[in-house]
Amino acid sequence: MSTHLLHVVWAIGAFMAFGTTAVSVIVRTDPARHRDLWARTLSWFPVCIFLIGTLFLGRALFTVGFVWVSAHALFELFRASPRPFSRRVTATSYALIGLSAALLFAEQWLAAMLVLPIASLTLLPLCLVWSEGVGEFGARFRRLLLWVMLGAWSLFALPTLAWLPIDVGAHGWQGLVLFLVVTTQISDLMQYVVGKIAGRRPLAPRISPGKTWEGAIGGSVIAGALGTLLGAHITPFGATPGFALAIAFCVLGVLGDLAVSGIKRSLGIKDLGALLPGFGGLLDRVDSLVFAAPLFLFFVLATRLMPGA
């Protein structure tokens, strides 16, 4: 990791410390109204530390870390299913994540990204029929396909960024991942904080009653400013594309949150797990990445593979 990138990480840490102090002051002014704001704000820290900290470990350990994230997110979805899938189906799903990781280590990034989509339409349906027969196959297959693609494949776009055999600027894959993670997570955090403090108009009351238009707008403003700065300093794209990407991440983060919230509501549960105090499971915390990460991967490929990019 370059010295410049280290300085950016320290600046992000200072921003988070300042923001946490501000939230602490707000909570003290009205503890009854903001009783869960402090706990939920603190729940962002272990995730951000993990996401950013793995950048220092090199792409091999970074990949291992996100293989675990993908597998654990899928595990949370499997565990939440009212009718559990067979061990044959779940074991095959986890094995496919491992195969995708092995292909990355073999520097076959395209094959790694195609394994789960192709297997989800071929191998996993066969495992499902073999294990459970054809009864309710349609509904079970749709749920399995959604689980694998949303819980595992979407998050696998992050380690794939580390293995692209293309020029991605002076700060390499670490700059790209840092840009994606920081803009999405800070946007997500600020949407929650602004929504709790000033939120009045629900964004999607049937799916996620706590999400507000004020929070979404506040998160977009912060994300846009952050994307402009980071885009100019740690990515090869520049300030204006950085701003546009950050706004897109904010919108996709909201959609990812609503998608996961819709799944939980359909299952009749509040959280997908209890890994993080005050915020539920791991996928509850990284749901803002499930659409943003694949989009960013495709954007990087489209812009850096074009002649003259």
Specify if 81 maps to a domain: yes
* HEC secondary structure over 201-216: CEEECCCEEEEEHHHH
User: What pLDDT digit, counting tens, does each position of 225-267 carry?
Assistant: 999 999 998 999 999 999 999 999 999 999 999 999 888 888 8
> What's the pLDDT score for residue 277?
59
> What's the pLDDT score for residue 132?
83
Specify if 309 maps to a domain: no
> What's the pLDDT score for residue 242?
95
> What's the pLDDT score for residue 278?
58
At 279, is the pLDDT very low, low, confident or very high (cuts 50, 70, 90)?
A: low
SS3 280: strand
Number of domains in the chain: 1
C-alpha–C-alpha distance, residues 54 and 301, integer Å: 23
> What's the pLDDT score for residue 276?
65
User: Which alpha helices (DSSP H) does 135-238 contain, by range?
Assistant: 137-148, 157-161, 172-198, 213-234
What CA–CA distances, in Å, run from 251 to 49, 229, 243, 291, 294? 24, 19, 13, 10, 14
- Domain residues for the domain of 83 are 3-304
Which among 302, 271, 293 is positioned nearest to 70, based on CA atoms? Answer: 293
> What's the pLDDT score for residue 35?
64
At 33, is the pLDDT very low, low, confident or very high (cuts 50, 70, 90)?
A: low
